[in-house]
């Protein structure tokens, strides 16, 4: 028996005017002649994003959703090179504290997936520096929300730069220059074009990083090994974590456009995975990466109710026997 919790990404399809990713471009910022007024507007946007995060958490609690990924676009222009003197956290402390208080009353697993430009295996010092600044912003947000930062940010490995083996070694080399508190925050996932499960396992086992298994990515890109053969190794990377292992689930948009994510999740595809792993671990958190966000979660939960081997604990959590 394994307990499965379903989660979704960043925003709801059901809440009106509740985007946590409202933004302002630097061009728009520059058009405001008074720099203090421009910064004040940035801060208002960030506060609205955090207020919408709280609305999303309340929505989750009302629907028994215990797993949620925050948007990584909560603070527009946070690390822009022309705004390095902006203490963006200063005005956000009350909003972050409200989220912290709510999560204490309604515990749920929350984390981040920083954008693709966060690359830790780059040979370009400026890219690595900006990647670390972005991760430090995530660490500060987690601290403000009073969320333990350990294993809260999932990343892709990065680019192959025409030599995948060398790129993996570059990740290891750069790892030594990353502050420990940032190292501890990270998880790595296999991707759909460059670094498959075995590549991610190589780094995760060598550096002590939990591996997030992306099932759709594996189906789109893998080596000769079946994922089942590596499942216990993937689980072992979580031995040092206080959190249950997590995985990503999505379905192909079509056979022709296999790598693209569908609107919803194919319950048969998901059940094939669950039937294989059931009993191999006590708990597994499954992050749904589908275009329809929480609607995809609700639809998947509804589709799974026809399976007799599933026993529901609440609206989005179940046991599979």
Could you give the CA distance from residue 255 to residue 252 in angstroms, rounded to a whole number? 7
Could you give the CA distance from residue 31 to residue 38 in angstroms, rounded to a whole number? 9
CATH of domain 2-320: 3.20.20.150
- In this prediction, residue 233 carries a pLDDT of 97
Give me the mean pLDDT over the 5-30 stretch: 96
Q: Are 15 and 293 in contact (CB under 8 A)?
A: no
Which pLDDT tens digit goes with each residue over 226-250? Answer: 899 999 999 999 999 999 999 999 9
pLDDT category at 133 given cuts 50, 70, 90 is very high
- In this prediction, residue 223 carries a pLDDT of 80
Q: Is the pLDDT of residue 310 over 90?
A: yes
Ranges of each domain in the chain? 2-320
Give me the mean pLDDT over the 10-17 stretch: 97
Which pLDDT tens digit goes with each residue over 46-99? Answer: 999 999 999 999 999 999 999 999 999 999 999 898 888 899 999 999 999 999
Q: Are 284 and 1 in contact (CB under 8 A)?
A: no
74 φ, ψ to 5°?
A: -70, -35
- In this prediction, residue 84 carries a pLDDT of 86
- In this prediction, residue 255 carries a pLDDT of 87
Give me the mean pLDDT over the 115-139 stretch: 96
- In this prediction, residue 1 carries a pLDDT of 96
Alpha carbons within 13 angstroms on the beta-carbon side of residue 153 total 27
- In this prediction, residue 180 carries a pLDDT of 98
Residue 84: which residues within 8 A CB-CB, separation 6 or more? none
Which pLDDT tens digit goes with each residue over 181-232? Answer: 999 999 999 999 999 999 999 999 999 999 999 999 999 999 867 899 999 9
Q: What percent of the chain has pLDDT over 70?
A: 100
Which pLDDT tens digit goes with each residue over 269-301? Answer: 999 999 999 999 999 999 999 999 999 999 999
- Give Dmax (Cα) for the chain: 64
- How many residues in the chain? 321
- In this prediction, residue 252 carries a pLDDT of 94
| Whole-number average pLDDT of the chain | 96
- In this prediction, residue 226 carries a pLDDT of 86
- In this prediction, residue 160 carries a pLDDT of 94
């Amino acid at each position: 028996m394994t307990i499965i919790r379903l989660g979704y990404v960043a925003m709801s399809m059901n809440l009106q005017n509740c985007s946590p990713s409202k933004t302002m471009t630097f061009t728009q910022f520059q058009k405001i002649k008074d720099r203090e007024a421009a910064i004040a507007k940035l801060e208002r946007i960030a506060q609205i994003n955090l207020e919408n995060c709280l609305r999303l958490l309340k929505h989750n609690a009302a629907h028994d959703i215990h797993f949620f990924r925050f948007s990584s676009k909560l603070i527009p222009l946070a690390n822009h090179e022309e705004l390095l003197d902006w203490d963006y956290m200063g005005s956000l402390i009350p909003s972050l504290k409200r989220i912290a208080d709510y999560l204490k009353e309604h515990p749920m697993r929350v984390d981040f997936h920083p954008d693709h430009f966060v690359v830790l295996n780059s040979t370009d010092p400026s890219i690595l520096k900006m990647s670390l600044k972005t991760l430090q912003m995530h660490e500060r947000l987690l601290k403000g929300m009073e969320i333990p930062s350990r294993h809260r940010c999932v990343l892709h490995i990065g680019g192959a730069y025409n030599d995948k083996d060398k790129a993996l070694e570059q990740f290891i080399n750069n790892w030594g220059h990353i502050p420990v508190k940032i190292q501890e925050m990270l998880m790595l996932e296999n991707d759909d074009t460059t670094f498959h499960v075995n590549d991610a396992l190589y780094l995760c086992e060598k550096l002590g990083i939990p591996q997030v298994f992306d099932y759709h990515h594996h189906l789109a890109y893998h080596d000769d090994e079946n994922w089942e053969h590596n499942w216990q190794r993937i689980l072992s990377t979580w031995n040092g974590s206080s959190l249950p292992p997590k995985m990503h689930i999505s379905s192909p948009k079509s056979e022709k456009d296999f790598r693209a994510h569908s609107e919803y999740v194919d319950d048969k595809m998901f059940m094939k995975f669950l039937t294989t792993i059931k009993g191999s671990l006590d708990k597994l958190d499954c992050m749904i990466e589908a275009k329809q966000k929480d609607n995809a979660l609700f639809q998947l939960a509804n589709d799974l109710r026809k399976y007799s081997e599933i026993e529901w604990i609440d609206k989005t959590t179940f046991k599979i026997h």
